[in-house]
Amino acid sequence: MNTTPMPDAKLHLAQLNIGRLVAAPGAPEVADFIDNLARINAIADRSPGFVWRLVGADETFGASDLSMPNDPTMAVNLSVWESAEALENFVWNTVHKRFYNRKTEWFIPLDTPHFVMWWVPAGHIPALEEAQARLDYLAANGPSAYAFGWESLPNVQAWKSQRCA
């Protein structure tokens, strides 16, 4: 069921994805993930429809120094895209997909949602606190126009074959 209104041309799609690593950055268990972050982030940065992503002091590990909660094993990815289709293309039609398919090697399953999307006015850069509030809302209330997952976007379908929501 689609609970998300379709955006107009003045809206962009924000997304937050968090994950708890099986070991701290620098540990051999997550080395392949950490060693490839710069490459994956560079692909995102060059992807059609990419607008912005949160970058911490250590650009190689994205915003890992901005952990949620204050935990070195909690990886954070916050970005803005021109459209759901642009994000979908990056996630499922680039080398990113190969790393997504290996997530169980590097991340501990969470008991709460770890991914949320929401529409923002073009030019708005979401704060990490705003993103966390959206994720918390999704966990407490389910998908709505305020916070949603892939299942709320009728124009994107690739996520279904990946069994993620």
d(CA 151, CA 88) in angstroms, rounded, equals 12
The pLDDT value given to residue 155: 74
Calculate the dihedral angle through the C-alpha atoms of 61, 66, 67, 69, rounding to the nearest 10 degrees. 180
pLDDT tops 80 at residue 157: no
Q: Structure tokens of 112?
A: 């709460």
Beta strands in 8-165 (DSSP E): 11-21, 50-53, 74-81, 107-108, 115-121
pLDDT tens digits along 43-73: 999 999 999 999 876 654 555 444 555 677 8
pTM here?
Answer: 0.85
pLDDT tens digits along 103-145: 999 999 999 999 999 999 999 999 999 999 999 999 999 999 9
Structural domain spans, the chain? 11-162
pLDDT tops 50 at residue 164: no
The pLDDT value given to residue 74: 86
d(CA 114, CA 149) in angstroms, rounded, equals 10
| 11-162 is a CATH 3.30.70.100 domain | yes
The more confidently predicted of residues 158 and 133 is 133
Q: Structure tokens of 118?
A: 């929401």
The pLDDT value given to residue 89: 93
pLDDT tens digits along 11-38: 999 999 999 999 988 899 999 999 998 8
